[in-house]
Amino acid sequence: MSNHAVKQADSAINEMYSHDLPRTPVDAEFLASQEGKIKVSMIGLCGCWGCTLSVLDMDERLLGLLDKVTILRSSLTDIKRIPERCVVGFVEGGVANEENIETLEHFRENCDILISVGACAIWGGVPAMRNQESLSDCLAEAYIGSPTVVLGVIPIIPDHPDIPKLTTKVYPCHDVVKMDYFIPGCPPDGDAILKVLDDLVNGRPVNLPTSINRYD
C-alpha cells in the first residue's frame, strides 16, 4: 500500500474543508443593520492578489457606498465561502487548477452578477505564460530541473491528493462560467472598480470610460 493510499483512507474520516470549519457568529445587531443592502463579494483564483489590493484602493470612496452595500467574502472579512447569495461578485485571477474551477462555479451559482477583474481573470494574465509550453515541461522546470532543487534528494513533482490538480492550460474565467462584466488592468485602478460598482449599485448601465480603461 502506498503512502498516499494510507493518507487517503485516513482523510475519509478526518477530512474537512476550510469553508466548513466552525466560525465565530457575526454580531446579531450588526447583521440586522445590514438588512436590505446589496451584498458584494470578491474571490481570488490564480492571481497575485494585486486586484484585491486595488479593491482596497477604493479607500474612503467606498464609504459613500456603504449605506447601500455590504461586503461579505473579501480580503477584508476572510470568509472562505459566501454563506448566502450575493448580488455582485468580483473575481480576481484565472483558472489554473481544479480548486479554481470548483470555487468559481460555486461563486457563479451564488452571485447574480459576476465581474472579471484584471488581466488574469480576463485572459489568463501572467500565469497564462505557461500556455505556450506543455504542463509537463513547466512542472519539470519547477521541480526537476530547477537550479534550486535540494542536492542529494531525488526530485519529485508533488502529487498529493490534497493538492489541487493543475489544468493543462490557464483559462480566462469566462471559459468556465458566464461572466457579466470585465474590468481590464494589471491591476485595474481602484477608480475603475469603483466606477463599475457605483454604476451597478445605482442601477446605471455599466460603463468603463476609455480614460480609465487600462490593460496593464
The C-alpha cell at 94 is: 484565472
Q: Which is nearer to another protein, 98 or 137 (CB)?
A: 137
Query: What's the CA angle centered on 29, arms 26 and 35, to 5 degrees?
Result: 90
* Residue of the chain from 122, 193, 194, 197 that contacts another protein (CB under 8 A): 122
| Range 176-215, binding another protein (CB under 8 A) | 181-184, 186, 208, 210, 213-215
Q: Could you tell me how many residues of this chain bind another protein (CB under 8 A)? A: 27
Three state DSSP letters for 35-81:
CCCEEEEEEECECCCHHHHHHHCCHHHHHHHCCCEEECCCCCCCCCC
Q: Which is nearer to another protein, 93 or 172 (CB)?
A: 172
CA distances from 110 to 22, 27, 192 (A): 21, 23, 24
Q: Which is nearer to another protein, 111 or 170 (CB)?
A: 170
Tell me if 131 contacts another protein by CB under 8 A: yes
Amino acid in position 163? I
Helical (H) or strand (E) element with 190 = helix 190-201
Q: Which is nearer to another protein, 126 or 201 (CB)?
A: 126
Contact residues toward another protein (CB under 8 A) are 116, 119, 122-126, 128-129, 131-133, 169, 172, 174-175, 181-184, 186, 208, 210, 213-216
